[in-house]
Amino acid sequence: MVTPSPFAATLARHSVVAAACLAFNCNIGAVHAATAITSDAPARLLALCEGRRPSQWTAAERPALDTLVDEVANLHAPVDANVLRGKWRLAYIQPGIAGAIVDRRIPFPELPFNENYQIFGESTVTNVGQLLGSALEVRVSGSLYEDDPADLIAPKRFRAQITQGGLCFGGGDACLSLPVFDSRTFEFGLRTTGIFDAVYLDSRVRIGQSLNGGGARSVQVRVE
C-alpha cells in the first residue's frame, strides 16, 4: 500500500474544500481557515524578523534563519491574495542562485540605516527603497495580477507590470521620474515585468521569491 506524502494529502484536502467552496459560492477566506496547516514555524519566523533589517543579521545567525525560511516555505500553505494588501517592510533576504539578492528596478546603494517596503493594493504594487530615510526614496510602481486566481496553494505566482519609477523627496509625491531596469534584458526603459511567487503569506509575515533574477527569497513583516 502506497502512503501519500504529507504535501499530497494537504493538496488533496485543499483542492476538495476549494472546489466545494467555488461550487457553493462561499468565502475563500473560510476555506483557508478551515484548511490551515498547523505549524509554529511562521510565528517563530515573525518573532525573529520583527523590527530587524536585512543588514542587521550576522553570519552566525543566517544558517538557522535560512533553515526556518525553508521550513515555512515547505508548508505549501494556503494563499489568500487579499491578505497581500497593505505595507510590508523587508526584514531578511535569503540569497538565490550565485548569491543573487533583491531584483531592483532602479538600482541604488544599500545603506544599513534605511528601510525597504512593498505596498500592495487590490491590483497595484509600489516598491519603496530609502536612500536617506523617508527624506529621499526610490519608488517604482505598476499594476499587479495573479497568474491563476484559482490557485490557492503556495507557491502562488504574481506578475507586476512596472510602468513608472522615480526619485522622491520628503515622503510625499514630489518625484523625479527615472527609467526602470529590466533584469532580464539588462536594459533601462519605460516599463518592465516583475514575476514573483508568494511562497508563504499570512496577515503578519510573508515570504516572496523573485523569479526575475537569481531566485532570492525575501521575508517581509506587515507594518500597515
**Is the domain of 61 the same as that of 104?**
yes
What global pTM score does this model have?
0.77
**Is the domain of 120 the same as that of 170?**
yes
pLDDT score recorded for residue 96: 84
**Is the domain of 136 the same as that of 159?**
yes
pLDDT score recorded for residue 166: 86
**Is the domain of 67 the same as that of 13?**
no
Largest separation between any pair of C-alpha atoms in the chain: 66
Surface-to-core class of residue 213, CB atoms within 10 Å of its CB (0-12 exposed, 13-18 middle, 19+ buried): middle
Whether omega for the bond prior to residue 78 falls within 30 degrees of 0, making it cis, is no
Q: Where are the alpha helices (DSSP H) in the chain?
A: 6-24, 28-34, 41-49, 62-73
Which range marks the domain in which residue 21 is found? 1-36
**Is the domain of 114 the same as that of 32?**
no
**Is the domain of 61 the same as that of 80?**
yes
**Is the domain of 88 the same as that of 117?**
yes
Number of domains forming the structure of the chain: 2
Query: What DSSP string runs through 129-155?
Result: EESBTBTEEEEEEEEEEES-TT--BSS
Strand partners, 87: 119
**Is the domain of 32 the same as that of 44?**
no
Is residue 208 within 8 Å of residue 221, measured between CB atoms?
no
In angstroms, the first-to-last Cα distance of the chain is 49
> How far, rounded to the nearest angstrom, does the alpha carbon of residue 139 sit from its chain's CA centroid?
16
- Checking DSSP bridges between strand 180-182 and strand 174-177, what pairing results, if any? unpaired
**Is the domain of 93 the same as that of 171?**
yes
Q: Please give the grid coordinates belonging to residue 126.
A: 509600489
List the pLDDT tens digit at each of the 224 positions of the chain.
444 443 444 444 444 444 545 454 544 444 444 445 689 999 999 999 999 999 999 999 999 999 999 999 999 999 999 999 999 999 999 988 765 566 555 555 677 889 999 999 999 999 998 988 989 998 989 999 999 999 999 999 999 998 888 889 987 778 888 776 555 544 455 567 889 999 999 999 999 999 886 789 999 999 99
Percent helix, strand and coil across the chain, each rounded to 5? Answer: 25, 35, 40
